[in-house]
Chains A and B, each alone.
Chain A
Amino acid sequence: MKHSDQHADRRLWIRSLIWGLLLVVCVVGIAHAEGLFRWLEPDARQVIYQRAQFYELLGRHLLVVGIAALVTIFFGVGAGIAVTRKKGRDFLPLVAQLASLGQTFPPVAVLALAVPVLGFGTLPIIIALMLYGLLPIVRNTLAGLQDVNEEIKVASRAMGMTPLQTLYQVELPLAAPVILAGIRTSVTINIATAALGATVGASNLGDPIIAGIINGNMAYVTQGALIIALLALTIDSLFDGLQGRLRQRLSSPQRLS
């Protein structure tokens, strides 16, 4: 059993390695693949997106998503923990309701509503991503913490653990898979929404797609779309590997003893 688990684990990491390699190949190789894209768009003056290097666009995309993810994880998990403690319990119903209601808000609408308040550029994107990405994390943190068996918590208290120790050594490790799933949802949505940020003046991987649609240049569109898709698949498979490892750690008896 354990052996096959490790095997599956390794396969997950290999998959993310393959997607990552494809991503790197595309980012480096597209500039040299003029012939290929010329075939796609024979009449255009340029067939390779020139306004910025692809690795710069990728870097900016990752930076925006990364900052938003770090902040949302900090505040989202923090809020989830705060409202499940004794002092914050008053806020629990409202926060839970808000987190599930927030799933209804379309990301595009959130992005569009952020612009009138915050203006054009990269900052509104980051803030819109933070606001939107917060909800799945809060929701899953709540679900994960509330799923922790009451008897286990009582047992840890009986063992003489302080509430803080219970939180760090019992509740959070047990809730970790659910919380991680929330973070995965949040990051996946954010990669897609950040691409839409190109329409509000942020320069990232959405840029070639928007420029291609406006100029009717399918080669640009394909280049941007290919790289974003590969980025999303790489990150997603990384989360897959992380979740696999977490599951393994929680289910392996050696660790718990």
Chain B
Amino acid sequence: MSLLDALPTPKLRRGGYPNAVLVSMSIVMLAVLWGLDAVSVAPNRIVQGTGVGVLGAIGLPGAFLASLLILAIGGLACQPGRTNYAAALGAVVLLLALMPFGLMVASYFLIDPALPQARLGIGASYWLILFILLLCLIELRLRLALTRLLPGLLLAGVGLLWWLCASLWLDDLALVQEFKARDRQFMRAVGQHIVLVGVAVGVSIVLGGLLAMLMRRFKRLQKSAFAVLNFLQTIPSLALFGLLLAPLAWLAANVPVLAQVGVSGIGNTPALIALVAYSLLPMVRNTYIALEQVSPDTLEAATAMGMRRGQQFWQVRLPLALPVLLEGVRITTVQAIGLTAVAALIGAGGLGTFIFQGLGQAAMDMVLLGALPILVLALLVDAALGALAEALRPGGIQ
């Protein structure tokens, strides 16, 4: 987000120039809506579905309504102004809220109740329009200079609606069927994923903090430690997981005590070691920079007020360093969420299991079942920690 802070906030221009961004996105959405397949229908899980366009999926009235709303977004953007942007925001949210109902209509039209295995897949135009609508939301948020709260609440409302629709009425949707077939497994995988990320980030916060402190005490350590951490970060994740397998398997086979503690070539141990190794660099770098950048004047003032060294650290340096430190935690956590998915390959469990199992079985909806929650998890953590860092930033510090 640091890049964004440096940007000039876009000004609302009265009349005159149309907003090129929203107009072009609305044109693209129209083209996508009428040109690509909205949904696909498959008689069972493995068979590739046949695509169905927008007319077949939601009929002429539905297609007309969708086109009208999309045109409204583009039309409102031709005369920019606060009211028009707010109305466009309304249209975007309405479209997002109507999307699951479109799927319901499509499943009513297309799914034969006599075929219990038949399922509805989500097509290319559906995904693309969803993506572009989210872009519109970002653009409108920037133009209207809204805080993150309102769009966040709107999205949470839309998400809740989607969840409700999916759990109550969208039984024919392939994604929902995949979930229902393994809901316990799914919940366990989410739990495993969060625990792995949590432990890895927790360990790297402690280790990273210690390392950063040591670096500040012994300046000579700094260069070599950063060199080693950079080196580790360069090695691709799959290779690091792979390189850990052989020695750990050897250790487990030859040192019985370690095997009893749970060390083994496959599973959580190599995953955690690799995750911590990757997490250390962003953690240490941000902790070190955060602690170093506290202005010497402030520290001098603290000394002048009679603070002892310990007090100075805990009451002045650490609170001032906290936002940058949290930025490190944010980068580390988001990165760890993605890397944990790779760890499923070496048997660590988590949501990556669905991705790789689904790829193995060519069951694309199972892949989605793994990939979408990972994406959502990463975005949620990013937003939450970003907001926390912003809240902790003291007023005077840039």
Contact = CB atoms under 8 A, between A and B. Distances in A.
Interface of A: 40, 90-94, 96-101, 103-109, 112-113, 115-117, 120, 139, 142-143, 146, 188, 191-192, 195-196, 199-200, 206, 209-210, 212-213, 218, 221-222, 224-226, 228-229, 232-233, 236
B231 interface: yes
Contact of B139 (A93, A103, A191, A199): A93
Contacts of B379: 101, 104
B239 A99 contact: no
Given A199-B359, A222-B243, A115 B364 contact: yes
A104 B371 contact: no
A224 B375 contact: no
* CB-CB nearest 9 A-B residue pairs: A106-B338, A225-B242, A192-B236, A116-B364, A225-B239, A112-B371, A228-B239, A108-B341, A218-B246
B58 interface: no
A98 B352 CA distance: 25
A213 B234 contact: no
Contact of B142 (A97, A191, A233): A97
Contacts of A195: 236, 238-239
A112 B4 contact: no
A108 B342 contact: yes
Nearest to B383: A104
Contacts of B4: 93, 96-97, 100
A114 to B, nearest CB: 10
Contacts of A90: 19-21
A146 B6 contact: yes
Contact of A109 (B237, B345, B359, B375): B375
Interface of B: 1, 3-4, 6-7, 10, 19-21, 124, 127, 135, 138-139, 142, 231, 234-243, 245-246, 249, 265-266, 334, 337-339, 341-342, 345-346, 352, 355-356, 358-360, 362, 364-365, 367-368, 370-372, 374-375, 378-379, 382
A234 to B, nearest CB: 10
Given A109-B338, A224-B242, 15 more contacts: A100-B4, A105-B375, A108-B352, A117-B127, A146-B7, A191-B236, A192-B236, A196-B342, A199-B360, A213-B245, A226-B243, A228-B235, A229-B235, A232-B235, A233-B235
Nearest to B338: A106
Nearest to B367: A112
A100 B379 CA distance: 12
Contacts of A105: 338, 375, 378
A195 B4 CA distance: 32
Given A99-B3, A106-B374, A228-B238, A213 B382 contact: no
Q: Find the residue from A120, A146, A195, A225 having the highest chain B CB count within 10 A.
A: A225
Contacts of B367: 112-113, 115-116
Contact of B246 (A40, A103, A120, A228): A40
Contacts of B127: 117
A115 to B, nearest CB: 6
19 contacts: A93-B10, A94-B21, A101-B379, A104-B382, A105-B338, A106-B341, A106-B374, A106-B375, A108-B352, A109-B355, A116-B364, A116-B365, A188-B234, A222-B242, A222-B246, A224-B242, A229-B240, A232-B239, A233-B231
Given A106-B374, A112-B367, A100 B1 contact: yes
B63 to A, nearest CB: 22
Contacts of B235: 228-229, 232-233
A194 to B, nearest CB: 9
A107 B236 CA distance: 12
Contacts of A221: 242, 245-246
Contacts of B245: 213, 218, 221-222
